[in-house]
């Protein structure tokens, strides 16, 4: 903490996993609520789990979980997936994966760990409960830019708007990686952004 004086700044704060923002989510994080199937799938060997989301990341998580869990229920608020056709085809052909369409998770319940989730069908309003040992949340990313509101131009989702040189509206302030508007959200692209930002930051300082 403290104040620092710099001739140039590169902002590369990245993104955080978007949360559901429902009762029980914080309480059971690490106790059945997870944001990373690659990290935690093994702990749910032969147990039923749920995945919240319908994009590429969510369905890829579901496919990975199907290697371990007894059943994977994908809960999606729409009536179709947003994942690519190839990923969808793999998921639809996986016998351990089933889908709850037009459905949202309203609450996560349990004792020492998660044991069920409360669901609501968005079209009919019908509510139900689903017994699971865990739920994996994969509903997108949120850029860590709250502290930049009113300081730098951000797009509607909160990503920093830059030029191809990673320049922001403020001279000497650059942004790189996932935090940047129109970033492909790939490691190799973020590394390239960082290199570009460093080159132009150096040029800015030299001037």
* Residue 106: domain span: 17-140
The model's pLDDT over 123-140, given as tens digits with 9 standing for 90+, comes to: 999 999 999 999 999 999
> Is pLDDT at 185 greater than 90 in this prediction?
no
Give the pair of three-digit tokens for residue 111: 């004792």
The model's pLDDT over 69-86, given as tens digits with 9 standing for 90+, comes to: 999 999 999 999 999 999
**What's the confidence (pLDDT) of residue 7?**
96
In a domain, 2, yes or no: no
**What's the confidence (pLDDT) of residue 85?**
96
What would the mean pLDDT of 3-20 be, rounded to a whole number?
95
The model's pLDDT over 83-107, given as tens digits with 9 standing for 90+, comes to: 999 999 999 999 999 999 999 999 9
Domain boundary among 140, 159, 183: 140
The answer to whether 99 touches 71, Cβ cutoff 8 Å, is no
Which residues are catalytically annotated?
Answer: 36, 39-40
Q: Domain total for the chain? A: 2
Within 8 A by CB and 6+ apart from 107, the residues are 22, 23, 24, 117, 118
In a domain, 68, yes or no: yes
CATH number for the domain that contains residue 186? 3.50.50.60
Q: Tell whether 116 and 153 lie within a shared domain.
A: no
Q: Tell whether 153 and 94 lie within a shared domain.
A: no
Domain boundary among 140, 170, 189: 140
Find the distance separating the first CA and the last CA of the chain, reported in whole Å.
Answer: 29
Burial class (CB in 10 A: 0-12, 13-18, 19+), 106: middle
Domain boundary among 111, 140, 169: 140
């Amino acid at each position: 903490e403290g104040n620092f004086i710099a001739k140039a700044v590169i902002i590369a704060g990245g993104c955080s996993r978007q949360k559901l923002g429902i009762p029980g989510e914080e309480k059971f994080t690490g106790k059945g609520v997870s944001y990373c199937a690659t990290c935690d799938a093994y702990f749910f060997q032969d147990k039923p789990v749920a995945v919240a989301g319908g994009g590429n990341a969510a369905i890829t998580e579901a496919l990975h979980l199907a290697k371990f869990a007894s059943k994977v229920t994908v809960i999606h608020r729409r009536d179709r997936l947003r994942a690519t056709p190839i990923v969808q085809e793999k998921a639809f052909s996986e016998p351990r994966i089933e889908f709850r369409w037009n459905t949202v998770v309203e609450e996560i319940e349990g004792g020492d760990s998660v044991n069920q989730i409360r669901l609501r069908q968005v079209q009919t309003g019908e509510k139900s409960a689903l017994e699971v040992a865990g739920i994996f949340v994969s509903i997108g990313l949120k850029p860590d830019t709250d502290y930049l509101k009113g300081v730098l131009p951000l797009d509607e989702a909160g990503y920093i708007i830059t030029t191809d040189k990673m320049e922001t509206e403020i001279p000497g302030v650059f942004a790189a990686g996932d935090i940047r508007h129109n970033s492909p959200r790939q490691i190799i692209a973020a590394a390239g952004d960082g290199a570009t930002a460093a080159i132009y930051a150096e040029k800015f300082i030299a001037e």
